[in-house]
């Protein structure tokens, strides 16, 4: 059995990561803030300290992948100082993400 297939799948997953991260930016930011806050204190970073945020990010990545979402279609991103809007381009036109 060749390891070539494993590397091809891993590379494909890594190529999709920027789109997934764009689709899950709020969850990624929340997780990053939690880890930074937990690591900033004098105590050591504990396992599961940010479990809730991590699970939200993981679920977002899974939804994006299984539903075709950010990992299976074209996404357009609009960022303004107040909000970030992700729009999915599909056959029917543009639809707001998560709607």
Q: What is the pLDDT of residues 41-67, one digit of tens each?
A: 888 888 899 999 999 999 999 998 876
Closest by Cα among 28, 26, 8, 12 to 65: 12
In tens digits, the chain (99 residues) has pLDDT values of 467 889 998 998 889 888 888 899 999 999 999 999 999 988 888 889 999 999 999 999 999 887 655 444 444 444 434 444 444 444 344 444 443
Q: Give Cα 66 distance to the centre of its chain.
A: 13
Domain ranges of the chain: 4-96
| Average pLDDT along the chain | 74
pLDDT for residue 73: 43
How far apart, in whole angstroms, are the C-alpha atoms of residue 15 and residue 13? 5
How far apart, in whole angstroms, are the C-alpha atoms of residue 72 and residue 63? 11
Q: What region, left, alpha or beta, does residue 13 occupy, with left being phi > 0 and alpha being psi -120 to 50 degrees?
A: alpha
């Amino acid at each position: 059995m060749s390891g070539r297939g494993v590397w091809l799948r891993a590379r494909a997953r890594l190529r999709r990561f920027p789109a997934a991260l764009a689709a899950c930016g709020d969850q990624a930011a929340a997780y990053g803030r939690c880890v930074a806050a937990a690591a900033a204190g004098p105590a050591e970073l504990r396992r599961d300290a940010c479990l809730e945020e991590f699970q939200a990010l993981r679920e977002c990545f899974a939804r994006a992948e299984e539903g075709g979402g950010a990992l299976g279609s074209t996404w357009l991103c609009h960022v303004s100082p107040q909000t970030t809007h992700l729009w999915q381009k599909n056959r029917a036109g543009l639809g707001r993400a998560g709607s």
